[in-house]
């Protein structure tokens, strides 16, 4: 074979590898999106708070290291890790959690040593039968049940019912009733649940909560912005007019909060949450209002270190 022919053959092989690599990455991303929808369809979603955390993405970005790294883990947790071989900081890749009120449903993706987990359950006084495990929690009304959907996915329920995890074996919906965002961390809050929780929110956040409580759908999340993070808000309103009014209310609340931050007396301890919320920007498109707030790592560290 002529040298020129060999060069073109090598270049062709390299190009083929590059194309296949790109196609593989897109396939993984597409499959990951389909997996999220499939897993969400197993959870109870009617008037339910849903939390999604992509631990793998946070781990890759170094965010997990900010979660109070200097604090020693509790002895109970260390004992659980020793007994079960499972440490969320190393082995958990993603979690989907639905809070119905009295019950909590979880779907966890990661790397599980199922034999050690089962052994841990039995050692703690629980039982496992045909991969379905049951264990008493820290309170009499906290009964934990779990089983593998596949080797890397665990379905779990914390309930008053030993068989609560059974409801996760089948999909409940043909289609998820809301659009799951691509953010690594997001929280879906039904407006009814937000109304009942306003009193427990920090003062700077209460005005924003009052503004969005009449919305149809509320998604709050966090996304990467280069080396920093940003907080995200997506609110679906019942009409374009309502979306316009909500955006105006949120902008006004931000102005008031910004004025309060600037008026703090010299030497006063700054309110980091107020300062963060005062930097928000908002936009509306049709019935959806979106908000963004830059979040630096110093804020995340102060949040993690808070008691």
Dihedral in degrees, nearest 10, Cα atoms 215, 221, 224, 229: 100
pLDDT of residue 278: 87
> pTM for the complete prediction?
0.78
Give the CATH number of domain 179-307. Answer: 3.30.980
pLDDT of residue 232: 93
Domain ranges of the chain: 34-177, 179-307
pLDDT of residue 96: 95
- From first to last of the 307 residues of the chain, give the pLDDT tens digit: 443 333 333 333 333 333 333 333 333 333 334 478 889 999 999 889 999 999 998 888 777 776 555 555 556 566 777 788 888 888 999 999 999 988 999 999 999 999 999 999 999 899 999 899 999 887 878 899 999 999 999 999 999 999 899 999 999 888 888 888 889 999 998 887 777 666 667 777 787 888 888 888 999 998 876 667 889 999 999 999 999 999 999 999 899 888 887 877 665 565 677 888 888 999 999 999 999 998 876 666 666 555 5
Please state, as a whole number, how many other Cβ atoms lie within 10 Å of the Cβ of residue 206.
14
pLDDT of residue 29: 36
Dihedral in degrees, nearest 10, Cα atoms 282, 284, 290, 292: -20
pLDDT of residue 219: 94
pLDDT of residue 90: 87
């Amino acid at each position: 074979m002529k040298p020129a022919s060999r060069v073109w053959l090598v270049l062709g092989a390299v190009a083929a590898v590059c194309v296949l690599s790109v196609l593989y990455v897109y396939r993984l991303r597409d499959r990951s999106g389909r997996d999220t929808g499939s897993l969400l369809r197993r959870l109870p979603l009617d008037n339910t708070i849903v939390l999604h955390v992509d631990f793998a993405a946070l781990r890759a970005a170094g965010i997990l290291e900010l979660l109070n790294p200097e604090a020693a883990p509790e002895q109970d947790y260390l004992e659980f890790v020793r007994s079960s071989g499972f440490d969320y900081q190393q082995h958990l890749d993603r979690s989907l959690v639905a809070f119905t009120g009295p019950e909590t449903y979880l779907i966890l993706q990661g790397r599980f040593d199922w034999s050690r987990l089962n052994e841990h359950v039995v050692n703690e006084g629980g039982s496992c039968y045909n991969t379905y495990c049951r264990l008493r929690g820290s309170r009499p009304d906290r009964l934990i049940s779990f089983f593998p959907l596949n080797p890397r996915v665990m379905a779990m329920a914390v309930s008053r019912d030993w068989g609560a995890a059974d409801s996760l074996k089948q999909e409940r919906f043909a289609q998820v009733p809301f659009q799951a965002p691509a953010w690594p961390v997001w929280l879906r809050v039904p407006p009814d649940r937000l109304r009942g929780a306003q009193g427990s929110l920090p003062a700077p956040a209460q005005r924003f909560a009052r503004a969005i409580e009449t919305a149809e759908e509320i998604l709050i999340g966090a996304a990467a912005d280069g080396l920093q993070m940003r907080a995200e808000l997506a609110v679906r309103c019942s009409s374009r007019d309502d979306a316009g009014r909500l955006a105006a209310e949120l902008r006004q609340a931000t102005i008031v909060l910004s004025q309060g931050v600037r008026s703090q007396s010299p030497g006063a301890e700054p309110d980091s949450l107020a300062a963060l919320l005062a930097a928000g920007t908002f936009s509306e498109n049709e019935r959806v209002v979106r908000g963004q707030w830059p979040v630096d790592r110093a804020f995340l560290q102060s949040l993690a270190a808070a008691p």
